[in-house]
Amino acid sequence: MSEEIKEQYSVIPLGGIREIGKNMWLVSNEKQMLIIDCGLKFPGEDLYGVDYLLPDFSYVIENQEKLAGIILTHAHEDHVGGLVPLMEKLDSPPPLYATELSLGLLEERVTDIEEGYKSLFHPITGREITEIGSFKVEFMHVCHSISGAVGLAVHTPDGAIVFTGDFKLDPTPIDQKPTDYFKFAELGEQGVLLLIADSTNATQPGYTISEKEVAESFVNAFYRAKGRIIVATFASSLHRIQQVVNRCAEFDRKVAFVGRSMERITAKAYELGYLTYPEGLVVSLEVLDSLPADKVAIITTGSQGEPMAALSRMASGKYNQVQIRQGDTVIISATPIPGNERSIYQNINKLIERGAQVLYDSRKGLHASGHASQEELKLMLNLTKPRYFVPTHGEFRQMTRHKELAESVGIASENIFLLDLGDHLLVSESEAQVSERVTAGEIMVAGRGHGYLDAKELRERHKMVKDGVLFASCTLDEKGQLASVPRLMSKGFIIEDDPVTLYQNAGEQLASLLRNYMQKHENVTLTSEKGEILIQDMLGRIIYSLTRRRPVIVPLVHHLGE
């Protein structure tokens, strides 16, 4: 009898590996492909003018006929922010699987591309096995900083491929729905082929503090506050918002939601029952204004110092409806995303200058991370007992630490894979191996939806920011020869000495170099692309030798009389 031929399963990370952000995984069998999450990444401060980064979708586009569905573990931007750009690139987007809340939060964006896309929505709930094309997928509830988060298991003949999603174990969550330990343990008993787990806090010892402890810190802060209370947090942190709302009810304060995303998300969450409060507790800013300071609270966006967010505008005195004043208590209930620290501290300084007391130190217990720390990660590994393990959702240092944690609970080092973007990991009961790498990387998006930036343009931006721009205006006679010495003008190019003399000098040097060159190369015209490169190159050298700077050079070539 011939042996039964088993289907080969494989996974490919297209994002979220060796980085925090733009999470995206593919799971494939021989016939079809599933996408798990499709996120964006916020740029570091060195990426001037870049709005966000996306995974490179080329491989998905090339293989789109195999796409059975897209699963979204939760509605944070690093997991869903790339969804709309991806859908726009696909000939016909596949069905979307996510919890009711995640779908609710995405609805507007998706129907903005096409009204009919709402028919692609498939709400999922925990402990449910869903057939997506040829895949059998089971979802389990996990605790995280946003509600409606799930982990999932893709069942294969050799055992389950389990994604934890972003998670923490939190034994005392606000909604009393702890992570579904039982399901993870049951999968472990049945046999987990591969575990792919969140590494964000793999360098943090112990356990992540529970939302319950944050609740106690808020009680203290509410006791002490004599004036208005203004809490800044992520609009998606619904557990945190729920807590603040609960405290407001206990302490007899009316509350208003401020900031566009805060208003939108809380309204949706209230509608779907993920945020609850007694009628009359939440009011408009106008109503709030008529109440005594110790009877009001505001929940606002801007915890990351985003310049346009409500808290930043309050800090700068540019938010007309809320003026910060003596006696206000401002609570920043969020961890700074790396790269945002400077803007956050600037805001804090301005708020204090205006007379507010600002509580922002994480040691005060006014914030808890949404990700599992070391002891929780070990417990997850022990519950699922995977044959193979892949750390994800972390920089390389966090992934490496997660690997060490896995080794400490007995997973063999050769069964742990520190992957890179695009690595194709084939898994079966007998072996796991990394095969050829597929196209992967990052796409920089500049100007929302208006185009992609390449490395050359980014280099130019760096030069412009560092050394400014120099324009070289070259006038040509009817024979195409330089009619006069090129005129130089600059923007943001700072020189200590007399600029008129410098530009005159540089212009004369450029004219002489160009004339020499044109004599030797009769067929080169300055209006051509080659001519422009020539001017950039020559002037670049001249300016560098005179000033030791490298501004971006823009040649402006025109004919006499133009």
Active site residues: 198, 371
Q: How far apart are CA 363 and CA 161, in angstroms?
A: 37
With both helix axes pointing from N to C terminus, report the angle between 238-250 and 260-272 in degrees, rounded to the nearest 10: 80
The annotation status of 559 as a binding-site residue, yes or no, is: no
User: For Zn ion, which is the closer residue by CB, 37 or 532?
Assistant: 37
Give the separation between CA 556 and CA 532, rounded to whole angstroms: 8
Q: Is 74 annotated as a binding residue?
A: yes
SS3 of residue 540 by DSSP:
helix
Q: Report, in Å, the least distance between residue 369 CB and Zn ion.
A: 10
Which one of the spans 69-77, 202-210, 290-298, 550-558 is the region binding Zn ion (CB under 5 A)? 69-77
Write down the least CB distance from residue 431 to Zn ion, Å.
30
The answer to the question of residue 240 lying near Zn ion (CB under 5 A) is no
- Is 367 assigned a ligand-binding role in the annotation? yes
Q: Does 166 bind Zn ion (CB under 5 A)?
A: yes
Residue 239 annotated as binding site = no
- If the CB atoms of residues 237 and 509 are measured against Zn ion, the closer one turns out to be 237
Q: Annotated binding residue at 79?
A: yes
Name the strand (E) or helix (H) holding 266.
helix 260-272
Please state whether beta strands 96-99 and 67-71 pair in parallel, antiparallel, or not at all (unpaired): parallel
Q: Is 451 marked as binding a ligand? A: no
Q: What share of the chain is helix, strand, coil (3-state, %, to 5)?
A: 35, 25, 40
Confirm or reject binding of residue 77 to Zn ion (CB under 5 A). Answer: no
**Is residue 56 annotated as involved in ligand binding?**
no
Comparison of 201 and 347: residue with beta carbon closer to Zn ion = 201
CB of 145 to Zn ion, least distance (A): 6
Report the candidate in 447, 517, 521, 544 with the shortest Cα–Cα distance to residue 553: 544
Smallest distance, Zn ion to C-beta of residue 268, A: 17
Residue 446: how many CB atoms within 10 A of its CB?
A: 18
Contacting Zn ion within 328-357 (CB under 5 A): none
Among 56, 77, 78, 158, binds Zn ion (CB under 5 A): 78
* Residue from the set 41, 76, 253, 313 that interacts with Zn ion by CB under 5 A: 76
546 sits in which H/E element: helix 529-547
Name the residue nearer to Zn ion (CB basis): 77 or 328: 77
Under 8 Å between Cβ of 409 and 382: yes
Q: How far is the CB of 105 from Zn ion (least distance, A)?
A: 13
d(CA 166, CA 534): 52
Q: Measured between alpha carbons, how far is 440 from 422 in angstroms, rounded to an integer? A: 5
Orientation angle between helical segments 181-190 and 374-384, nearest 10 degrees: 40
Question: Which residues make up each annotated binding site for substrate?
Answer: 367-371
The site for Zn ion (CB under 5 A) is made up of 76, 78, 166
Question: Which residues make up each annotated binding site for Zn(2+)?
Answer: 74, 76, 78-79, 144, 166, 393
Question: Which residues make up each annotated binding site for Ca(2+)?
Answer: 49, 51
Question: Which residues make up each annotated binding site?
Answer: 49, 51, 74, 76, 78-79, 144, 166, 367-371, 393
